[in-house]
Each structure stands twice: as structure tokens, then as C-alpha cells.
Structure 1
Amino acid sequence: MDAKVLQYNRPDFIESDPIQIPHLFSKKEDIEISGFLTATIAWGNRKSIINNSKKMMTFMEYSPYEFVMNHQEQDLEALLPFVHRTFNGIDFITFIKGLQHIYKSHQGLESVFSKNNEKHSLQSSIHHFKKVFFEIEHLPRTQKHVSDPLKNSAAKRINMYLRWMVRNDNTGVDFGIWKNISPSQLSCPLDVHSGNVARKLGLLKRKQNDAKALQELDNSLRKLDSEDPVKYDFALFGLGVFEGF
């Protein structure tokens, strides 16, 4: 597992991964907003995820923080044609408004995710974030695009996003720009690939990829490295996607 982390936790990993989108930016707020939006649509074909994430950045003229904070109504109307699977233009507009609310009223994304966390888990923090994010007026359908671990979701995309923001891997892949959360609190982004590999390695027994499975996998990975358990996401993902383990 440690050898596979070294193999995949390298800068060339960025070339084929959605994390390349926030790597287009240097300003903290641009990185965290572009990363959040990219992670939100990170399901399905990876090439499609990357292409549609770039479209989102184009709509925002590659200045996501500026767009979130200072957009006009006509700027939002221009987002209506956007679609990625079930995430459509209305959802995109709602997310822009939700992000503006987070920055104007709650000191930004890091501040919100830093609240309500536990010693070895950020799942309550994710639940808290979802409540704050949707304090704005929104259609009920849009809520499905932010998972809630306290409703038994593995919350794969948000856990992946938190890995990007919190974990400093010293190789230039994960950003490590959030200092108020420890990498030891992170959870592995659990999906079909990482789940299947984890089961074959005896790290996970539960068959469903849900919140209970995530807790079981977290416990296994923390035994391997209590300070940086989600570094093994690279090993599980690489073995599953690139090696067909």
C-alpha cells in the first residue's frame, strides 16, 4: 500500500484527474471554489468531468471568486445552458449563490468546514456545511448534489474535495491550503473502485458503499497511518482504475 501511494501520489497524477482544475489557480479562494465546483460534478466519465469543469470555469471567466462575489443577474442567466448529467444550469446558479452566502456571511468555505468536526471525523462538519450552504432560497432538487453523511451517504465527492484542500502531500498534488483541519481527520473518498480494492485487501467487509462502510474503511486506514490515513486513496484508486486490481 505504501509503495502504491508513492507510485500514484505524484505530479503526473494531476494530468488525468479532476484535481487539475483547481491547479489552474494560485489564489486561495479561486482554488477552493473551483475545487468545490469540480468535486460537485465528479461522477461519471473522468474526461467528461474535466471538460465540463473547464466549461464552468469559462462561464466564470476563470475568476471564480470574483464571479461568486460580484456577479450580476445577467451573468447568472448565462449559466442556464450548463449541464453535467443531473447537475443543470439551475443547480449551477444555486451553487454560485450558496457560495456567495458562505463567503459573505460565514467567512468562507474553510471556516464552515472547520466547525462541528470531531477528533477523527469530518462527517458532522459536512452535515453542518450542507445546512449552511442551503440557507439561501433553492429548489429541493438541488440539495441532492451535496451529500449528507448523517443520512448514511459515503459523501465521496466532498471527502475527495476535503482531501484536496487539507492534505499537504509535499508532491504538489493535494493543496494543503486549509490549516484549521488536520489530515488525520479526513475520510477516504469511497467509491466503486476504492471500495472493491479495499474489500480484496481485507480493509473493508461491508458490501454497500455507504457511511457505515466509510467508517469501517477509515478505521482500517488509520491503523496503517493515523496521521495521514487518506494518502491510501491514491493506492486504492490507482490499483482499481489504472491496474484493474
Structure 2
Amino acid sequence: MNKTELKSFLDEKVNTYNNPNFIETDPIQIPHLFTLKEDIEISGFLVATIAWGNRKSIIANGKKLMKLMGNSPYDFVMNFSETHSESLSNFVHRTFNSDDLFYFLKSLQNIYKNHGGLETLFAKYAEKDSMQPAIHHFKKVFFELPHLQRTQKHISDPLKNSAAKRINMFLRWMVRNDNTGVDFGIWENITPSQLSCPLDVHSGNVARKLKLLKRKQNDGKALVELDNSLRALDSEDPVKYDFALFGLGAFERF
């Protein structure tokens, strides 16, 4: 396929998957349980953090976590204290355990009380054509409180050559306004053009087959390469092609 044919093919696949039916099988359904901006942000951030492994398990544990938080994540975070520890002590998703969860809730509380919230913090460090430096600085602020070393592994650092798939997915959810009701578009201080594709096994394999990506590892360098390829197709909203790449890989076995 030439560039025109490839763009047409991928645009068609975006239309196929970027619609409300996508929500039914995706972890994005968890923040869709809420209407308050802060509830959407916090639930989205937490479920994106545990978004690896079996999708049904991710969704089930995301719903379990929201229930433990009284289905009011922002209120729970702002009033969180050690007294809540026992009620959360049995939560685990793969290697993300209750110790990690306790710290995440304390750090989120710190971010909303002392840093203006998640959007303000990410926007503060965003660069014109990339959110990856912002993710790096976000991680530094996120772990400014005393914490267990093990908990740091749950937030990736793009400046250490990570593709940071889960946090890029979270940013897509918050920033893109796709007019179809999938991504939220509730963050107005960051534009879709600054976003990077959540690079995982599905999107990576399909991107290589379509010659959008040559690098074999799904790492930070591969992300930069894929970003450049997708921005050549649509500089204003390059990460819409996440729907096409993921859909082709996960649902069509392309």
C-alpha cells in the first residue's frame, strides 16, 4: 500500500472500532461509570495502571476497586487515611498489591491538594510535540512522598526508554474528544497532537506489518518511530490510529 491507500485503510478501521461498542470490552468502561471530572480522572488513572494481562480480569478488578472506594473515587482519595487500609488490604491485580494501592491513593491525594490535580500536573510539563517528558516529570512528583521502592515499577519512565503504554493510554482517554463517546476529551490544556500511541504487542505487531514501525522492541525508541509515522498520516490526531492498530491485532488477528 502507498501512503494514500494506507491512510484510507487505517481511517476505515478507526471508524470500525472508535465507537461506543468498543467500550463494552475495554477497561475504559470503568471511568465511563462516572460523570464528575475528578472521578473520571482518578478511576481512569487507576484502571490504566492495572491494565495489563487478561482484559476481563482488568475490568473485573477495576470494578472491584471502584466498589472498595464507595464508587466515589475523588471523594475517597481526598479523605483517604491509614484507617482505610484494612478495607483495601486484600486488593491485588497481578503484581499490583495493597501496598502499591495505599501509596497510589496517598500520592493522588497529594497531587490534588498540592499540585492542582492530574491535568494541571501533566500540562505543566507537556512539550509542543510530546507528552513523554511530562510523564517523566509526573513520575518524579508522584513519588515525592516516602514510598516502597517496589511501587515505582507501576509507572513507567519514557526517558528511560519505556514505551509507557498504560500511561499513554490514560492520556488518550483524557485528552482526545472523538465525538463518538469513547475517549473523554475532558482535558483542555493538552491537545491530541501531543499524544503518543499506547504501544503494546497488538499495535506493535500490526504497525510492523504495515511498515509503520521497523524497530523490533516495543520500547521508547519504537514509540518515537511510530509517533512519526502516525503523525505523517494525521498530525492533529495521530493516536486515533490506536483504535485501528489495536483492533486489527486484537480482534482481527491481522
Q: TM-score, normalised by structure 2?
A: 0.96
Aligned with residue 242 of structure 2, among 233, 241, 244: 233
Residue 21 (structure 1) aligns with: 30
Distance 1:170 1:45 in 2: 28
2:229 counterpart letter in structure 1: S
Q: How does 1:159-170 map to 2 (within 5 A)?
A: 159-170=168-179
SS of the residue corresponding to residue 125 of structure 2 reads coil
Q: Is 1:44 matched with 2:50?
A: no
Partners of 1:22 and 1:123 in 2: CA distance: 23
Partner residue in 1 for 2:100: 91
Shift of 1:136: 1.0
Runs of 5+ consecutive residues of structure 1 not aligned to the other structure: none
Say whether 1:177 aligns with 2:181.
no
What amino acid maps onto 1:171 in structure 2? T
Amino acid at match of 1:35: G
Give the Cα–Cα distance (whole angstroms) in 2 for the partners of residues 90 and 157 of structure 1.
Answer: 20
Three-state SS of the structure 1 residue aligned to 2:172 is: helix
Tell me by how many angstroms 1:222 deviates: 0.1
Q: Distance in 1 between matches of 2:172 and 2:101?
A: 23
Q: Which moved more, 1:68-77 or 1:152-161?
A: 68-77
Counterpart for residue 111 of structure 2: 102
- 1:66 maps to 75
Other-structure match for 1:244? 253
Give me the whole-angstrom Cα distance separating, in 2, the residues matched to 1:80 and 1:2: 45
2: CA distance, partners of 1:73 / 1:151: 33
Distance 1:105 1:118 in 2: 22
Aligned length: 245
The Cα of 1:115 is off from its aligned counterpart by 1.6
Which of 161, 164, 172 pairs up with 1:155? 164
1:80 deviates by: 1.4
Deviations 1:6-63 (A, max 9, x none): 0000001000000000000000000000000000000000000000011110110100
| Equivalent residue letter for 1:26 | T
Counterparts of 2:86 and 2:113 in 1: how far apart (Å)? 21
Q: What percent identity do the matched residue pairs reach?
A: 76
Residue 75 of structure 1 and its aligned partner are, at CA, apart by 1.2
Stretches of structure 2 that go unaligned for 5 or more consecutive residues are 1-9
Could you say which residue in structure 1 is the equivalent of 2:155?
146
2: CA distance, partners of 1:25 / 1:76: 24
Find the residue that maps to 2:169 and give its secondary structure: helix
User: Does structure 1 conserve the Cα–Cα contact (< 8 Å) formed by 2:80 and 2:109?
Assistant: no
2:136 aligns with 127
Please, what TM-score do these two structures have when normalized by structure 1?
A: 0.99
Kept in 1, the 8 Å contact 2:196–2:239? The answer is yes
Moved more, 143-152 or 73-82: 73-82
The alpha carbon displacement at 1:125 in A equals: 0.2
| Deviation of 1:71 (Å) | 2.3
Root mean square deviation of aligned Cα: 0.6
Paired position in structure 2 for 1:117: 126
C-alpha contact 2:168 2:195 (8 A) present in aligned 1: yes
CA distance in 1, matches of 2:20, 2:243: 12
